[in-house]
Structure 1
Amino acid sequence: MVLAPHADGAAPYVQVGDGEGGGGEEDDQSNVKFFMGYLRSSGGEEPVSLIIFGKEICVCHQALELPLPRLQVAPGELSKKSQFEVKDKQVITDLLEVTLDTETGNKVTLHFLNEETNEETDWHIAMETTTAVQSLIRAIRLPWEHQMCVELEVNYV
């Protein structure tokens, strides 16, 4: 995954894979969803980017340097840094449970189970608005339901 500038100077885009997809389900670039939120833990909240593409979802730290190092011509140490650092990545079909906090409406927990390694992972996500959380759930729901052939249930607590 790479942040790449358009040749015509338009806003940069996230490139997923090798960029040589021929369309259809294999062409992940046409299905990229990008969200910003906070990963909640016992140590507090840290700002993260959530990127949904194809069959995967990633939690990334984003290097917020202005101007963006990838768009500068001058070489230097800053320009060698990656725009996104993947903190965790999960396959969407490993998602077992989505829990929405009804008290605030802007917090959601995604519970994953990797069946191959039997490892469970919880992502506790907070976003600025309830609309952003609903958009995140919709973005996850579509590929999940397409692959699992059942409706994704959202638990309300």
Structure 2
Amino acid sequence: MYCLQTLSSSITVIFLGLCLQTLTTSEAADIQKLLEVNVIPMGPAKPGEKIELACSVQSYWTNCAPVKVSTLSNPPIDFPFGNLNYTYCACPGEAKTFYWTIRSSRTANIGCRAAFLLDDVCPKGQNLIPPQNKGRYANMKTLKIIN
């Protein structure tokens, strides 16, 4: 009987350990997301029609840090007024939206990418050191072209 109780207790401890490890791993993954990039949904467009691409970027880093925001597309699309790359000082809890005018003759996946930089774009006196693990964060949406 003692062996069965010990076996039951061991299985319970292993199960709880696995559950705690899973919770800790998912929380760590959330903490690692230092920038959130969201593409504002676009409605369908006609071939060659100009449409606005809008992307919102929010920082979860503990200090202000320089960030570069750019576009992604597959297949390539046309930017009638230029494909601008934006650089700005991202501070914790602040969201900023960036805009591009785009045009495509076919359905495309379009999105935005944000990455921490080492450039000097934040005002003097603010912490300008970006996180050491400065990954790129991206989000894509599909622009449907309807004939």
- TM-score bracket for the superposition, by shorter chain length: under 0.3
Higher RCO structure, 1 or 2 (CA under 8 Å, sep 6+): 2
TM-score under structure 2 length normalisation: 0.24
Larger radius of gyration: 2
